Amino acid sequence: MSAAPTAAAPASPSPTIAVKAKPVTTRPPNEAGLIPILEYHRITPKPSPYDRSAAQFRGDLERLYREGYRPIALQDLLDKKIDLPQGASPVVLTFDDADVSQFRYRPDGTIDPDCAVAILEEFSRKHADWPVRATFFVLPDSAFGPAKERTKKFRYLRETLGCEIGNHTVTHRSLRSLSDEAAQHEIGEAVQKIQAILPGTSVDTIALPMGISPKDRTLLAKGTFAGRAYSNKAVLLVGANPSPSPHSKEFAPLRLPRIQAVEGDSGITDWLNRLQKSESAYVSDGDPEKVTAPAS
C-alpha cells in the first residue's frame, strides 16, 4: 500500500510512525472460528464437476477478497502463525494432482495466463494485500506435464513464489487397499522423488488420494521406505467442511478437512454462503501476539 503524498514532506523519513491499517471488515474478532482450506484440481476451459474454469477460479478469488478473506500458508496454519490485519479471515489454497493446467508454459516460455499459477500471480499483482500463498500436492511422476520442465517449475513455486509442495503419493492408489509396507512405499517414495526433482524440498504434508487413509493411520504421520524415514505434520482430507481454528481444541492437523472448489452441497459457494450467514469464520483481531475469541 502506498502512502498519500503529504503537503509538507518531512526532512527525513520517520520509519517509527506506524499507521494503523484500516480493518478489512467490521466483523468482530473470532480467532476460534472456522478456516476454509480450499481444494482445487484442474483449471480448465471445459470443467468437469471436480474442476474449475479460469473464470470460475478468478471469481472465487474475487469473492474471497471481497468477503475479507486473505490467504495464509498451510505451514502458518500448522504453526498457529496467523498474521492478518484486523477483520480479515484466513483461507488456505490447495491444489491436488499437479495437473498441467495448474502450471503451464506456453511455447514462447511464458506462463499460460489461464493456468492456476498465473491467475494467482495476476490476482496478487492487483491486490497488494493478497500474496501468493498455496500448497501443491503433487504426483511426482507426472507433475505439471513435461518432465523436462519439472525442476524449473518446482523451483519457481518454492523459491520465486514461496508456495509449498506437498505429497499426494506416487500412484494415487487407495492407501487402504495396500499392505503397510506398500503404503509406506507410496508415501516415502513420493518424498524421495520430489526431492530428486528439487533437492532440499521439505515434504511434511500429505493430501490423501480420494481422501482414503491406510489401514494403519499412524503410517501417515511417520514411516520408512528404502531405509529413509518420512514424517508428516499434516494430513489433508477431501471433504467437506472448514477446519477448526488452530487455537481450538478441535484442531486436528492429522485430519484436516477441506472444502472442494466445486458447486453444489458443501462445495465452495455453499460453504462461503454458510460462513457469511452464520458469522462462524475465523476473524483476526489484527494482533498476532494475542488470541481473541468471543466467550462461549
Q: Taking contact as CB under 5 A, which single stretch among the options 47-55, 97-105, 276-284, 286-294 is the one that binds Zn ion?
A: 97-105
Burial label for 195, CB within 10 Å (0-12, 13-18, 19+), is middle
Closer to Zn ion by Cβ: residue 31 or 96: 96
Phi, psi at 113, each rounded to 5°: -65, -15
- Per residue, the 3-state secondary structure of 190-206, as one string, reads HHHHHHHHCCCCCCCEE
Closer to Zn ion by Cβ: residue 153 or 168: 168
Closer to Zn ion by Cβ: residue 51 or 97: 97
Q: What track of x and - describes contact with Zn ion for positions 29 through 68 (by CB under 5 A)?
A: ----------------------------------------
Task: Say which residue the cell 499507521 belongs to.
Answer: 19
Q: What is the DSSP letter of 253?
A: G
What would you measure as the largest C-alpha separation in the chain, in angstroms?
73
Site for Zn ion, residues 224 to 243, rule: CB under 5 A? none
In whole angstroms, the minimum distance from the beta carbon of 209 to Zn ion comes to 5
Q: Which of 97, 125, 144, 151 is nearest to 260 (CA)?
A: 97
Closer to Zn ion by Cβ: residue 99 or 114: 99
Q: Taking contact as CB under 5 A, which single stretch among the options 91-99, 145-153, 188-196, 219-227 is the one that binds Zn ion?
A: 91-99
- Selected binder of Zn ion within 96, 114, 186, 189 (CB under 5 A): 96
In whole angstroms, the minimum distance from the beta carbon of 82 to Zn ion comes to 27
Dihedral Cα 189, 203, 70, 151, nearest 10 deg: -70
Q: Binding to Zn ion by residue 186, rule CB under 5 A?
A: no
Closer to Zn ion by Cβ: residue 82 or 194: 194
Closer to Zn ion by Cβ: residue 70 or 258: 258
Q: Where are the alpha helices (H) located in 116-234, listed in sequence order?
A: 116-126, 150-155, 180-197, 218-221
In whole angstroms, the minimum distance from the beta carbon of 225 to Zn ion comes to 20
**Crossing angle of the two packed helices 268-278 and 54-66, in degrees rounded to 10:** 10
Q: Binding to Zn ion by residue 285, rule CB under 5 A?
A: no
In whole angstroms, the minimum distance from the beta carbon of 212 to Zn ion comes to 10
3-state secondary structure of 219: helix
Q: Binding to Zn ion by residue 97, rule CB under 5 A?
A: yes
Q: Which of 252, 245, 262, 248 is nearest to 51 (CA)?
A: 262
Q: Give CA–CA dist 165/202, Å, rounded.
A: 8
Closer to Zn ion by Cβ: residue 261 or 281: 261
Residue number, nearest CB to Zn ion? 96
Q: Taking contact as CB under 5 A, which single stretch among the options 89-97, 106-114, 154-162, 248-256 is the one that binds Zn ion?
A: 89-97
Residues forming contacts to Zn ion in the complex (CB under 5 A) are 96-97
